[in-house]
Amino acid sequence: METLVRIAEGLGRFSARFVPSAFAIAVLLSLLTMGMAIGWAGAAPEAVLSGWGSGFWELLTFSMQMALVMFTGYLLALTAPVRKGLEWLAGLAKGPRGAVALMAFVSMALAYLNWGLSLVASAMLVRFVARRRPEVDYRLLVACAYFGLGATWHSGLSASAPLLVATPGHFLEKQLGVLSIDRTLFSPFNLGLTVAVVAGLTLLAWALHPKPENTVRVDPAVLEKLGDFVPPERPADRSLAVWLDHTRWLNLVFGVLGLLWFARHLALNGGWRALNLNVVNFLFLVLAVLLHGTPARLLKASEEAGGVLHGIVLQFPLYAGIYGIFKTTGLTDQIGELFVSMSTKDTFPAVVYLYSGVVNYFVPSGGSKWAIEAPYLLNAAGTLGVEPEKVVLAYAWGDMATDLIQPFWALPLLTVARLEFKDILGFLLLAFLLYLPFVTAAFFLFG
């Protein structure tokens, strides 16, 4: 146990000294991708530059979907019932080790439901736990709040690839058909692997907490900045406009209509198999409207929720530019052919898992990557006789694996927690180095 802690602390010191900001990483990855496209794929520099620039704006629809995942998750996390639930959860923490284990479990459980909700609710839970347990290591606490993005989100109910292929009219429907989520997300393999990973990383979080003399506690000034959401007060003015902004009837009517539509959609389209990205976003928005109670409270929460989107808005175009290079220069084909050439029918799912993790580090976007990789991965799977649902799951698990060491999706969490990515990277690297071979073995043996 102490060996693990020393390794994590050593990795932390390394990352604090050598790892730059998330934006700098995005720029460096862009340059590295350009170099690979020219040197490995043999693309002309002009073609690389053209693909990079045109790629910036090719993912605007998907960017909006991802922003809504984050935005609706944040809105829901700011509602009074969810906040009370988080306060209750924070009270369950018994000691520093119990606090980080609790954080890891809650982060992964929430990410299974919705990755945006996990990021935001976990960040808010950090506040409550740090207040109740100031002796906890704050770096490890925030790192555990990010576990869900690397361990469960793409195996759960907001999973991009499985939900996309379950959506009628998706871009691969002619080749693949519609794969309902009982063949992917609700398959025994996916459910069993998810349970095993959650249990393992929760135990790891408990084991990683440093001794009291080596613990880095939260700065009281930082804790003071982590203020709670304050609902707006109702003005004394009794005008119709004020009444409309502070009445519960509008939110109630909207919420009931939304829930009726959601229930009808499930009833007419095969139950939970009808879930897809847009439907999940719709549900979380409806729940947020319903639970906030009044338009005034909802708008105030929206202002705060919008504040955590700046990292996505600034950096997503850079990763879309990298996507453009992969799409137009043949670099993806080069990487894909390399992995496929090493595969057999039995090993193909594990190879797809590793391959997806490599590409995800350069293009941290589950849906856009799937659009690039799916056609030739599914063709290769057909040639080898591998079922398409196995490819979807292997892709999904690989896609989220390297999220643990990629700063892009940690930006909202870090904004709320007032930390830099390099502050938590040491713990995340160790978790990644233990988690990756375990899941790889699972796909080799059972995938």
Mean pLDDT of the chain: 84
Compute the half-sphere exposure of residue 113: CA atoms within 13 Å on the CB side of its CA. 17
Please give the span between the terminal C-alpha atoms of the chain, in angstroms, as a whole number. 31
Q: Is the alpha carbon torsion for 324, 326, 328, 329 positive or negative?
A: positive
237-260: per-residue pLDDT in tens? 888 888 999 999 999 999 999 999
Selected residue with higher pLDDT from 411 and 350: 350
User: Which residue in 218, 2, 201, 212 sits closest to 101, CA to CA?
Assistant: 201
92-149: per-residue pLDDT in tens? 988 999 999 999 999 999 899 877 678 778 888 888 898 889 899 999 999 999 999 8
Write the Ramachandran bin of 344: left for phi over 0, alpha for psi from -120 to 50, otherwise beta. Answer: beta
Selected residue with higher pLDDT from 77 and 297: 297
Give, in order, the Cα–Cα distances in Å from 152 to each of 324, 404, 435. 28, 11, 12
- pLDDT confidence of residue 64: 81
- pLDDT confidence of residue 23: 79
What residues have CB less than 8 Å from 340, skipping those under 6 apart?
348, 351, 376, 377, 380
Overall domain count for the chain: 1
Please tell me whether residue 139 adopts helix, strand or coil conformation: helix
- pLDDT confidence of residue 297: 92
- pLDDT confidence of residue 225: 59
The Cα 84–Cα 401 span in angstroms is 31
Domain that holds residue 145: 1-231+238-446
Instruction: Confirm whether pTM is higher than 0.85.
Output: no
User: Which residue in 282, 303, 285 sits closest to 232, CA to CA?
Assistant: 303
Q: Residue 2 — pLDDT band, cuts 50, 70, 90?
A: low
Give the largest Cα separation in the chain, rounded: 72
9-67: per-residue pLDDT in tens? 676 677 667 767 767 878 888 999 899 999 988 889 999 999 999 888 877 776 787 77
DSSP state letters, 211-230: PGGG--PPPHHHHHHSPPP-
3-state helix, strand, coil in the chain (%, to 5): 75, 0, 25
Q: Residue 4 — pLDDT band, cuts 50, 70, 90?
A: low
Asked if pLDDT for residue 222 goes beyond 70, the answer is no
Asked if pLDDT for residue 273 goes beyond 80, the answer is no
User: Which residue in 431, 406, 435, 437 sits closest to 103, CA to CA?
Assistant: 431
**Mean pLDDT of all residues in 310-325:** 81
292-317: per-residue pLDDT in tens? 999 999 999 998 888 777 777 887 78
- pLDDT confidence of residue 367: 61
- pLDDT confidence of residue 315: 78
Selected residue with higher pLDDT from 338 and 184: 184
Q: Are 328 and 367 in contact (CB under 8 A)?
A: no
359-382: per-residue pLDDT in tens? 788 777 666 667 667 767 877 787
- pLDDT confidence of residue 204: 95
Please tell me whether residue 340 adopts helix, strand or coil conformation: helix
- pLDDT confidence of residue 15: 64
Asked if pLDDT for residue 337 goes beyond 90, the answer is no
